[in-house]
Amino acid sequence: MNILIVDDDPDIRELVAFKLRQMGYGVRVEKDGEVGLLAAVNEQPDLILLDVMMPKISGIEMSRRLRADERTSHIPIVLITAKAQEADVERGFEAGANDYIVKPFSPRDLVARVENLLAKS
Amino acid sequence: MRNVWAVRFVTRPKSTRSLLALFVLSTVIPLVLLVVLPLQMATSALSEQSTNKVADTSSNAADSMRLQLDSLKSLTTSFSKRSDIIAAANARNGTNNRLLRDAMQEFQQANSAIKAALLLDAKGTIVSLEPYSAASVGQDYSFRDYFTGAMYRSDAFISTVFVSPAARNANIVSISHRVTDADGKTVGVLVAAVDSKQVFQSYVEQFQAENDVELQIFDQGAQVVAAPGLQGDIQVSRDPRVLGAIAGTPWSGKEKRNGKNVLTGYSTVPGSDWVVSATVSQSDAFAPIKHLESRVVVTAVILGSVILCAIALLAISMRARDRAESALRSSESRTRTILDTAHQMFVEVDERGRITEWNAEAEQLLGWRHDEVIGRDVIELLIPEAERDRHRKAFEQQLESGHDGEHRQNVTVDLLRKTGEAVLPAEVSSWVTDAEGRRTVNVFVQDISDRLRLQREQELVVKRQKALVEDLRAADKAKSDFISTVSHELRTPLTSITGYLEMLQDGLGGPLNENQQMMIDVVDRNAQRLLNLIEDVLTLSRLESGSVKLNRSEADVRSMVTAAVETLLPQIHNSGLVLEVDVSQNCGSLVGDVNQLERVLINVLNNAVKFTPSGGRLSINAYRQGSSVTISVSDTGVGIPVEEQPHLFSRFFRASTAQTHAVQGTGLGLTIVKSIVERHGGAVSLQSAPGVGTTVYIELPAEITADAPV
C-alpha cells in the first residue's frame, strides 16, 4: 500500500512518514500542493494525507482538485488540520476529504484512521 | 402693544340701528319732498290756471250774454224809432189803428223769444199790445221798471226778471226803449217781453252741456235769471260776490258749494248791470293734477317700498355681519391671546410679503417690536442676503400653488436679529389662508438653537463612543486573532514533540533505559500541560471574541451530568474518591449548547477531583427551582481561602492551595465556566472553606419546562 503525504512542514512530514514506514506502508512525501497533485496523478497512491495550511494550494483546494480529476477522484483523503472548528471540518468534507485529524495528534491514532479508511476502500 | 389691540377689540362701531335710522331719513325725506313739492307746485299752478280759466269763462259768457241782450236792445231801439209806432204812441188812440197793430205784430215776431210786444204812452198806459188783448189796452203799467227805466234814458233798458201772469206765469225779462217824437219829446215806451227761459235758461243749459260749466245769470236786482235746473219762484241771491259784480267788481276763486269744492268766476255783463257766474267743480278742474298725483304717489310708494325693502335687507345683513364680526372679534381676541402667550414665534405676511402680524415671542427672540416690523418685507428683514432669492421663490410658489390651509412643514432657516448678533436657527411651518380674496401666509417659527446644540453635542458623544467602541473592538479582535494564531502555530511544533515522544515510548527509537524513560515521562507530562494551556487559551479566546455561536437545542440535564461523570470516572476511581449523583426528577430539559454545557460540568467536576485528597467525597445535585435549574458540585477538598474567592474566576488565577498541593492547572478553567454559563444567561457562585471543601453552584434559566412544574 502506497501513501502520499503532502505537508509544507518537513518535521511533520518526516514524523508521519517514519511512523507509516514503520507500519510497513510505501510512503511518498511532497512539500506543496502543485507537486503533490502531479505525484497523485503519476503514482496513483492508495491514500493521500494532506495538510490543510499550505502555501500556494491549500489542502482544501487540493482535495477539490483531486476529486475533480477522474484519475484521482477515487483515492481516499485524510486532512491534517490545526483547526478543530466545525466550519473547517465541514469545508474539508465538502471538498471531498474522507476523514480528518487534528494537530497535535497521536501517531498511533493516525495509523488507526489510515488503516480504517484503507480497509473500507 | 397688547393695549393697542385691547382697545381695538373693545371699541364697538356705531350701532347699526342709528346708522339705519340715518339712512332711512336720508332716503325717505328726499323722496317725500320729491313727491310733495312738484305736486304742490303743479297743483298751485293748475289752480291758478283753473281760476283764471273760470274767470275767463264767466267773462266770455258775459260777453255772449251782452251780444244777445244787445241784439234785443237793437231790435227794440230800431222799432221804437219807427214813425208808425211814434205816431201811434203820440196819438194815444192807436188801439184800432190797423197800421199800429201790424207794426206791433212785426215787432213781436221779429224774434221768436219775444213773447209779447207792448206800447205804452208817456203815462204808462198800454196803447197797444201784441198778441192783442182788448182788455189790456188802457191798463196802467207805469209801475213797471221797464217803463220807468226806459223813460229816463236814451238807450234801451233791460228789466229785472219777473213772473208774468199774462204770459202764463213765464219768467219774463223786458227790453224797453222810449219812443220820442220829432221834437224829442217822449211820447211812450216800446217793450219787448222776452221769455227768459227761451233765451237765458236755454243758453245756460246749452253751455253746461257743451262745456261742463255751470253758468248763472243774475239781473241788476241780484235775482237769478237763469241757472241749471232753475224752477219755481224767482230767487234773490244774497251772495256778496254777486252784489260786488253787479257793482262792477268781478271775482273769481275757490268756494264750497253743496259740499263740493268748486271754482267760480263772477263777471258783469258789459252794457248792463247783469252778472254772469261760471262754476266748474274743482275735481274736474284738477283732474289732470289728480291723475298726475296718483301716478306720482303710486311711483313714490313703489319706490319707497323698494327702498324700505332694501333697507330691511341691509339691516338684516348688517345685523348678521355684526354678529359675524362680533364672533370674529372674540375669535380674534382668543387667537391673539394664544399667539401672544405661545412659545413659538408667529408672523403673518400678506401677498406682497409684508409683515401684518408679529407676536410677543417674535419680539423677544428677534428683537424687533411689533410697531417696528409691521409693513416691512419679511424676507428683507429676516433672511440673510445669500438666502433671500431662494426664499422669495419659495414664498411666491407657496402663494401661487398653496391651497387654502396647505402646510409647508418644518423648513429650517437661519433668521437675522435686530441686534445683528449671530443668526437664530429656526424651524418654520407655514400655510396659506384665503379670506375674502385676501391671501395670507401664516408662519410659525420655532427657535431650534437649543435643539441643534443638544443634537451637536449628542452627535459628538455618539461619534466618540462609536470611535471608542470601534477601537475596542479592533483591539479585541486583534487580541483574539493573535491568540488564535499563536495557539494554532503552537500546535504544529507540539505535534512533532508529542508525536516523537509517543514513538520513543513505543520503542520505535530503540529500547530506553530507566533514566531515559524518566526524562521522557517529564517531557511528555509538560508537553501535555502546554497542550492543555493552549486548548484553554484558545477556547476562552473564542468565547470572549464571540466567534463561537451557541448551538442551542434542548439539553437534558440528566444526560449532561451523566456524560460529565463518565468522562471523569477513571480519574475518580484512580483518586479513590466516592461520588454521589442526585438529579431531581423535575429537572427536565433546558435550552442551551449541549457540548459547551458538558464542558462546564467537566471543568467543575475535574476541579473537584483534582483538589480532593484520596478518600474524599464528591456529590452532584441537580434540581429545578422556579424557572431555573441549579447544578451543584461539592467536594471535601482543600477549599479556598475567603480572601481569594473573589479572584477565582479571573484568568490565570490559581488559588494558593492549588500551588501548595502541587495541583496542575492553567488557571483558565473557571473563567471558561463563567463565560459559558453567562452566555446562557445563567450565573456561577461558590461556597468554600479551607480544609472543609468547596461547592460550586451553576444556575441556568430553564426556558423549556418538562415533567412536573414545581
Over the stretch A34-71, which tens digit does the pLDDT of each residue have? 999 999 999 999 999 999 888 888 899 999 999 999 99
Q: What cell was used for B68? A: 244777445
Report the residue of chain B nearest A109, measured CA to CA.
B499
pLDDT digits (tens, 9 = 90+) for B138-149: 888 888 888 888
Where on the phi/psi map is residue B138: left (φ > 0), alpha (ψ -120 to 50), or beta? left
Peptide linkage before B240 cis (omega within 30 of 0): no
Q: Do B495 and A12 touch (CB under 8 A)?
A: yes
Percent of residues, chain B, with pLDDT higher than 90: 15
The band of B283, judged by pLDDT with boundaries at 50, 70 and 90, is: confident
CB B220 within 8 A of CB B146: no
d(CA B175, CA B128): 16
Query: Chain A partners of B508 at a C-beta cutoff of 8 Å?
Result: 18-19, 22
Task: Determine the average pLDDT of the residues in B631-645.
Answer: 90
B508 near A CB under 8 A: yes
pLDDT higher than threshold 80 for residue A84:
no
Least Cα distance to B495 among B518, B526, B527, B517 occurs for: B527
CB B592 within 8 A of CB B552: yes
CA distance A70 to chain B (A): 32
d(CA B368, CA A119): 100
Query: What order of strands is seen across the sheet that includes strand A26-30?
Result: A26-30, A2-6, A47-51, A77-81, A99-102
Least Cα distance to B441 among B452, B429, B450 occurs for: B429
Report the residue of chain A nearest B530, measured CA to CA.
A104
Least Cα distance to B382 among B397, B399, B365, B396 occurs for: B365
Give pairs for B529-534: CB < 8 Å, separation 24+: B529/B664, B530/B490, B530/B494, B531/A104, B531/B494, B531/B498, B532/B666, B533/B666, B533/B668, B534/B487, B534/B490, B534/B491, B534/B494
CA distance A16 to chain B (A): 9
d(CA B359, CA B362): 5
A41 near B CB under 8 A: no
pLDDT higher than threshold 70 for residue B95:
no
Q: Residue B287 to residues B43, B144, B241, B257, B293: CA-CA distances in angstroms?
A: 10, 48, 26, 18, 9
d(CA B115, CA B134): 17
Give pTM, 2 decimals.
0.42
Report the residue of chain B nearest A12, measured CA to CA.
B496
Nearest to B491 among A19, A22, A82 (CB): A82
H-assigned helices in chain A: 10-22, 33-43, 59-68, 86-95, 107-120
CB A29 within 8 A of CB A55: no
CB proximity list for B498: less than 8 A, separation 6 or greater: A104, A106, B524, B527, B528, B531
User: Which residue(s) pair with B118 in the sheet?
Assistant: B129, B191
Q: Give me the pLDDT at residue B263, please.
A: 83
Q: Do B495 and A15 touch (CB under 8 A)?
A: yes
CB proximity list for B17: less than 8 A, separation 6 or greater: none
The band of B296, judged by pLDDT with boundaries at 50, 70 and 90, is: confident
Query: Chain B partners of A52 at a C-beta cutoff of 8 Å?
Result: none
Q: Do A15 and B491 touch (CB under 8 A)?
A: no
- What amino acid is encoded at B409 in this protein? Q
d(CA B387, CA B385): 5
Q: Give me the pLDDT at residue B11, please.
A: 39
Pick the more confident residue, B544 or B516.
B516
